Chains A and B, each alone.
Chain A
């Protein structure tokens, strides 16, 4: 069980490293959105620091979407998805490894880069730490939910737009608790632990539902 899991994980990480595609790209996209918001709202630092965690979370949600359409599509196109589906290892395991690799190359960099980008919207150190922590806990939920959409649209040409339409409503709870946990980190009426624990629960539930759903979608789409 462990060996095929690690094999797929290492393969996808290597692919991501050698192609150098979506990970760096979604990081740049993340930065783009953070830069665009002050242009729309004006350079008022007080306002920006107040809504900074919300901006970073919104940017993270959108940046997660960027690389998702290629999650299964590339394998679908070159036929390796058929081999993975037909392999003796359970498809759920393969999906889990692929999604984990995807998160390691997109979600994790976003969470780690968040403090740096937080400087642009004048976040206090506590808010930076809070936002980074919530992104670390919450982005797996985004990736796993997105994986279902990616699996459903794997064989559709130009599936990116439909992927976003299908997946974004399901990301609303993660966004709500991510932002409220990040806000709670800088003080507020709610203690940090409450939304943070719910955010963790959302990630775990999404891990189960997303893995099963994506595997089912890949299996049934033949």
Chain B
């Protein structure tokens, strides 16, 4: 395609500026997290890394007294991992099954159940947050992984995704399978699941990131420090920045911020192709 030199040059300038716009805040946070808090307090935020990387990160990862809640960042990372994986696995399994029933079976309650599932798209958790909290409290699920993960799975985005995909699967497959005497279980396990592997991977990646980044629900659910996810940990540290009249603990807050971002960002960058495909397909 014809392109003038000038256009090509401005393209690069604009894209570099755009990339800098995205990266600068994170870079400043990283550079600042490797200095002592006294140094930051006197000299402001830093553009160049300092010499306290291992000291700051090591302390926050392994030393319980480093965070207000007496919980190490390692524990918080573990909790986030449980939430991210639990959310993704739960969502994939549940929505694959529900979509299978809706697409491949003729049954009386198919339409009403479909509308019930659809209705969850209308009301995000944020809107019904207070009653949801009460329900989970009544069930005695506060401060548990179950209470953390299950209510988040209730929404139906995944079900719609798989419904869309199943409908694009040729009908002949089911006809052939039935001629060969395969029942509903066999068809699902031996044909449909293997066929959906790339779709499963794509949606799994997205759901992991979405689960890892949950904020409002874990914030309400977890009063026990040992169950804090890393995203909640950031807020706790940030809230206690100015406590005790000491010099504010900016490096600590920055270090947590960086650690909270690394796993989901890595997942997105490594599986970029799958992730983009999943995202563009789901939202359709």
Determine if chain A interacts with chain B. Answer: no
List chain A positions with a Cβ less than 8 A from chain B.
Answer: none
List chain B positions with a Cβ less than 8 A from chain A.
Answer: none
